[in-house]
Structure 1
């Protein structure tokens, strides 16, 4: 009887019961420590999601950015002047000249071979009194710059996880992440792409149009430099676009039928021959510097960009074929308007998150509708086999070439003004 209790060994059933109880306690302690309250939760780890998270934190809101780890994005983004100005004004990018290449000219060449062909048209940034229309910036550099900006924000925390479930009750969003943790948030920001689950859980209606075309992207080395000129060769199944990436390097976006793109990359010799033909031998023999990647094309729009204390930014709210350089530019305009709505918000008021979502939806409606119609019209008019559509496109490009007020208005629209 004088022995301590610890000296008596436990029977096997008792050991199992003790182990189970220990595991139960450990799980529940961990779950409690992983339960988080925040004012704003941002879902999605792309560039728009990172920018939205930084903007939310800088507006004075406790912000949790939820996104899984992702491989490096080796693409580039052609950002127009207003987008670059916003990035510099908000210190997301210090100096674009240190990481990117200026876009000083945009050249459109009608290579359709149709009876009604448009004239070759060149847009010069100097016509708008600008040194450049914008900058072609590597996404890796932008990601690093945005992440560095976020690390300085005391209001911003990050979680490497994916959103598994979400529902809203008592004016708060309850989120369950795939790591088992739980989050409650007043305002939910969806930057989670075309297949947005935030959009689904918020009950926002989406319209998607799938095209018969796909896009092939890679980096090329040319034998003659682009010298700051983005060149678009317009073919019946879509444009073949070369964007300057510094020196002899260019970013290729080639839109065509998927079977044609797959056939093109079957052998290095076939690809080399078609790259020279599609670029009309203007830049010698282009040579691929990176692997080719093909992805299907679709357009996506929503009936509203904010509802039930949920806000959509980037491709969760809009997606277009890569023509007209509107993708990330439009996403950054989303973040800029989100910034304005948060600056006007009163987080002490009842239902403040609902009010922010309504204000954001109203503020974004005109820009999303106008840009969506422009890009869709530009793309479908090029693809249309119908003579009236081809005539309208040719007449429009003639007007852009010869009528200065029309040229300037088109260039201003392309800049997002």
Structure 2
């Protein structure tokens, strides 16, 4: 067998791609493997950490499991404290109700003995921390190019790059997003559909403090969420009809502020637009397969979901931790390095993560279908369902456990010593 240039090549250097590269480099069972990441536009250093830098529109809610995964490679301590906002509570309610009405769901970290329910952080700062962590810097080769071709034979995968180079790998990990080129070149199809919704995003200042609480109200057109930011503002993710989302991007500041305040039911008083505006299309998508011989998918390349539960990147990080655990376990049994690319090994990862992700995608899609309409019978059922969840401690713990990444089959690196009950 001709020696490949690399044992592992990760396609795509976003948060999930950088995570799987760093985890692979940090795992003691994978020590000695040659790891590369292909990314045409690697990130630049975020603005100075003086607290005055503008917060980027793209923020995410990072779960407890994500925190542990990032901590395991040394990336979490590199995140500047003044750009991290822990949130302690979450309030969810349906449009006809007010946040203090009976039947509104209130999740609290204290109820499950957790310090918080998660952290709101800019994507770019998490991505940069992963590039800067020691395992990545010291052991991952960064290839600044685009993928243009991908071929497989019995011994290796051969990647053609946009700059004319050709490199070989034992295993290729596709982490290049929902429109994954590597997935298409590997011949893996997807199923799903475009949502008749788009996500309008911006930042706002509010008359009353956010109180380190995430607020989410379900409207007939889709949910609106207020996510607390470290500087006192809130990040807005408003899922609505495409025409309304585009209108919100272009209408006067005073009008969009008024509409946002009305949509959230003025839960924090008057709203003032305090950031740029953007709009993003939404799609439900799931790969029919997660792997082929010498090729495997993680993150949005494998599954893309509605943002209403904020679980996209968290599921991606769990994919990374599970895949690296499977690869490490294969080598710990004395197998040669070639075992990481074998289909029998990659199928273990597929069975594990595809079942977990199918459950999450189905649950979130169902919630969006049930809540994003004004049918009177469904409105009655929603109110009854929310009230039932609020009054069932066991059900609330289940949802909080899922949101924190502490329920289901959890990778060892993300688990806690005492499991959720």
SS of the residue 2:314 aligns to: helix
Counterpart of 2:336 in structure 1 is 348
CA–CA separation in structure 2 for the residues paired with 1:225 and 1:219? 14
Q: Which of 405, 409, 415 is residue 398 of structure 2 equivalent to?
A: 409
Counterpart of 1:364 in structure 2 is 353
Counterpart of 2:159 in structure 1 is 175
SS of the residue 1:253 aligns to: strand
Q: Which of 174, 197, 207 is residue 181 of structure 2 equivalent to?
A: 197
Change (3 A) 1:180 1:377: same
Counterpart of 1:272 in structure 2 is 257
Q: Deviations over 1:247-273 (max 9, x none)?
A: 421111011101112223322222122
Superposition map of 1:242-253 within 5 A: 242-253=226-237
Cα offset, 1:304, TM superposition: 2.6
Cα offset, 1:154, TM superposition: 3.6
Change (3 A) 1:312 1:350: closer
After the TM superposition, which of the residue ranges 203-212 and 352-361 deviates more from structure 2? 352-361
SS of the residue 1:94 aligns to: helix
SS of the residue 2:69 aligns to: helix
Counterpart of 1:87 in structure 2 is 70
CA–CA separation in structure 2 for the residues paired with 1:263 and 1:105? 31
Q: Which of 117, 123, 130 is residue 133 of structure 1 equivalent to?
A: 117
Change (3 A) 1:179 1:359: same
After the TM superposition, which of the residue ranges 392-401 and 238-247 deviates more from structure 2? 392-401
CA–CA separation in structure 2 for the residues paired with 1:167 and 1:137? 38
CA–CA separation in structure 2 for the residues paired with 1:250 and 1:361? 37
1:376 aligns with 2:359: no
Q: Between Structure 1 and Structure 2, whose CA radius of gyration is higher?
A: 1
After the TM superposition, which of the residue ranges 229-238 and 384-393 deviates more from structure 2? 384-393
Cα offset, 1:153, TM superposition: 4.6
Change (3 A) 1:363 1:154: same
Counterpart of 1:65 in structure 2 is 37
Q: Which runs of 5+ in 1 are unaligned?
A: 1-34
CA–CA separation in structure 1 for the residues paired with 2:203 and 2:134? 29
CA–CA separation in structure 1 for the residues paired with 2:271 and 2:340? 55
Q: Deviations over 1:70-109 (max 9, x none)?
A: 5776511101112112211332212768241111101012
SS of the residue 2:389 aligns to: helix
Cα offset, 1:338, TM superposition: 1.4
CA–CA separation in structure 1 for the residues paired with 2:25 and 2:78? 22
CA–CA separation in structure 1 for the residues paired with 2:373 and 2:206? 31
CA–CA separation in structure 2 for the residues paired with 1:222 and 1:229? 13
1:55 aligns with 2:23: yes
1:328 aligns with 2:310: no
CA–CA separation in structure 2 for the residues paired with 1:67 and 1:192? 9
CA–CA separation in structure 2 for the residues paired with 1:43 and 1:150? 20
CA–CA separation in structure 1 for the residues paired with 2:144 and 2:57? 21
Is the Cα contact below 8 Å between 1:102 and 1:136 reproduced in 2? yes
Change (3 A) 1:273 1:153: closer
Superposition map of 1:170-249 within 5 A: 170-249=154-233
Is the Cα contact below 8 Å between 2:202 and 2:235 reproduced in 1? yes
Is the Cα contact below 8 Å between 1:216 and 1:255 reproduced in 2? yes
After the TM superposition, which of the residue ranges 344-353 and 183-192 deviates more from structure 2? 344-353
Q: Deviations over 1:35-73 (max 9, x none)?
A: 981111101121001111112222322111000115776
Q: Deviations over 1:355-378 (max 9, x none)?
A: 432221122122111111111111
Is the Cα contact below 8 Å between 2:103 and 2:388 reproduced in 1? no
Q: Deviations over 1:264-299 (max 9, x none)?
A: 332222212212212222323322222111111111
Is the Cα contact below 8 Å between 2:170 and 2:338 reproduced in 1? no
